[in-house]
Structure 1
Amino acid sequence: MTSKAVIMVGGSSRGTRFRPLALDEAKILFPIAGKPLLAHTIDAVLKIESITEILLIGFYEPSVFTEFISAFNAKMKYQRRNCSIKYLKEFKALGTAGGLYFFREEIMKGNPDNFLVIHGDIVCEFPLSEIIDFYEAKKELSKEKLDAVLFD
């Protein structure tokens, strides 16, 4: 089974309530407990062995993520983990549904068995394995096609 994770990272036109703490830093990369906010989400995603690609979708300039992505790829190579990360920049701030729709071909590329969509500025104890197990169990029991499970 192959899976993807889509992390919605917002953009520079958002996160104004986070100022003045992050005037020179993207909110999503602001350090929380010793590492960028985004790294906490990615660490939770990496607990899912089937995830082979992480897509970041947002409206930041790509250069904002260059160093982060480079460090991530080096870590994956060192750990011999088959997982890549890619940033997809929206042409304008599209919101969650707009970003997913605009990049639908990239998300579905390689025909993943499933994918997770996570808002990157949320930090919590993500029960991602349990969500996937719940989805798979419901999918097997459902007589109708089950497209999604929402975790709130």
Structure 2
Amino acid sequence: MGMIHAELELINTIDLAMVRRKLIDESKVRKVTVVALVDSGAYMMFINEPIKEQLGLDIIDEQVVELATGQKERLKITEPIEVIFLNRSTSCRALVLPGDAEILLGSIPMEDLDVIIDPKTQPLVLPPDRPYIAQKPLK
């Protein structure tokens, strides 16, 4: 399987909450459109330092991750961000990769978005049997 990328919109969830509470105008919501590597082998959402700064995200924790090379690295974790793909959205914390590293969409946000990788054409797509709303098992 080749490298798969998807266009995502990332939004500061604190800003969204402030809009709902009428504390800021919707035009003040910090958001960015990115092209992310779809990596079902990674668990989380990974953003880079410039995206963290652009969204104005605070660091709330740290975690040690093991890279594909086997090297272990301590990464910062941000407060939740809203991740939007087509008509699907999810909120998740993001790990911050150093510098201008490639953004990664991992398996946990992919599952919550209820999206799949088409094995024939290899783009990230909505499941054909549920294109309008996400579906999750409660078992």
The answer to whether the superposition gives a TM-score over 0.5 is: no
The answer to which structure, 1 or 2, has the higher relative contact order (CA under 8 A, 6+ apart) is 1
More strand by share: 2
